Amino acid sequence: MDNPVIATAAVPAADSPRPPPGQRWLARLSFVLAGAGVAILVAFAELKSLAMLGVGLAAAVIGLAAAYFFLSRRGMWRWFALGVFVFTPLAVIAVFAFFSLLWVAVAAAAAWLLASATARAALGWGRKERKDWRMPERPAAPPPSHPYMIMNPKSGGGKVGKFDLKRKAEELGAEVFLMSASEPVDVGEVARKAVAQGADLLGVAGGDGTQALVAGIAAQRGIPFMVITAGTRNHFALDLGLDRENPAACLDALSDPVELRIDLGLINRRTFVNNASFGAYAEIVETPSYRDDKLATTLDLLPDLLQGHRGVRLTAQVDGRTISGPQALLVANNPYGTGDIAGLSRRTRLDGGMLGVVGVKVSSARQAVGLLNGTRGPGLAVLTAKEVEITADVLRIPIGIDGEPVLMPAPVTCTICPRALRVWVPRHRPGGSPPSPPVNWARLRGLAAFSGRRHG
């Protein structure tokens, strides 16, 4: 499997802009704290410090291997592995406590955690003032004369009713279509009919899958789109900086809006706002029993999927590079932060014009342990691309598109439509936070050693 190319940040050169004193001292503090963690081990654990590090590392390896066996086996081996996974950290604590070293381990770990925090603060210095991680806002004009909202009363455990969204939207001049709680609704057809009848803004109070379908129609017609955070997880809304605690606050986009121009993912002819998942996840969510018992269905299917006894064999062409036989493949509308392999973290921007691609292949406990190396692990590929083509050894590929199970004929092509969607959001909203930079000790060393002297 292809491995990502990890670029190493350069050490500040003599003619680099002078880092602020606060940034330099934070970098130095991170080295002091890291050294203090080592010093605590050496001073109080003496020769036992190496043994402590060895025990901690061994515990991490054993725990991850046990987790893999729990997921990939059935019967007695599964429950034995679960016991090992639970017992391992307890055994480590007991060993440290027996030798009166527990407080030493806690103090050293606290110092290293603080060192990591100060390192990230130093490397991310000034990001709150920089605009490269913020999506630019545009004036939202003219105001819509016929806003149209599609609301799912079942979504998010009944948030539409709980927050009285229908009445509040109608008071702001919107026409509201309330989806039936008992019969399936073709939301795409509802949206197309609304536009044909004069709707000049489309909004959705529902899950990400419903939002993606309606967003595609809004983009095609060139009209604004609104998101109301009435779903369960609201991943798309999180990346837009919307208020996920109070869905009614999203309706302020009708009275005091700004416009964001964002990308849309396209898989064959279907749009997605978050991601398209192939492999294990798609196989699981396609199973009829998944909706009634998610945990039991997942645990029942994973052994066959991880051992290759079930599921399609995938091959992905990623801008000329090949990912062969991944057990899980995630194609995202813009990359997730920190090389997220499950699509659970944030995307800082949605207008980068690139797909994020993550492929995972783990067929043994050894490869599972190799994932401790992060994005450099041999079973992990983290890439960006403008186009991804996925082929398989079957005629129809199961896919999870923004959480919705879909079957599509092979091959499947994913592309990105740069800034195709006009999203109206409230001018005043929680917003996002600056991306947390990875800890790069080489760059940090350069900041800490930067003298500030000017060179001719």
Percent of the chain at pLDDT above 70? 79
Contact status, residue 130 vs residue 455, Cβ threshold 8 Å:
no
For residue 213, pLDDT beyond 80: yes
Task: Determine the CATH number of domain 138-255.
Answer: 3.40.50.10330
Q: What is the pLDDT of residues 17-57, one digit of tens each?
A: 677 888 888 888 888 888 888 888 777 766 666 677 777 77
**Which of 150-154, 167-171, 226-230, 438-442 comes out lowest in average pLDDT?**
438-442
What residue spans define the domains of the chain?
21-132+438-449, 138-255, 275-418
Query: For the residues 197-224, what does the mean pLDDT come to?
Result: 94
H or E segment and range at residue 64: helix 48-72
Neighbours of 115 (CB within 10 A): 21
Q: What is the pLDDT of residues 64-116, one digit of tens each?
A: 788 877 877 788 888 888 888 888 888 888 877 877 778 888 888 888 888 88
**Which of 39-48, 136-145, 174-183 comes out lowest in average pLDDT?**
39-48
Mean pLDDT for the chain overall: 81
My answer on whether omega of the bond before 411 falls inside 30° of 0, hence cis, is yes
**C-alpha distances in angstroms, 319 versus 35, 378, 382?**
43, 20, 13
What radius of gyration do the chain's Cα atoms show? 25
Distance CA 328, CA 382 (A): 12
CA nearest to 316, candidates 406, 394, 413, 399 = 413
> What type of residue sits at position 367?
Q
Q: Which fold has domain 275-418?
A: Tumour Suppressor Smad4 (2.60.200)
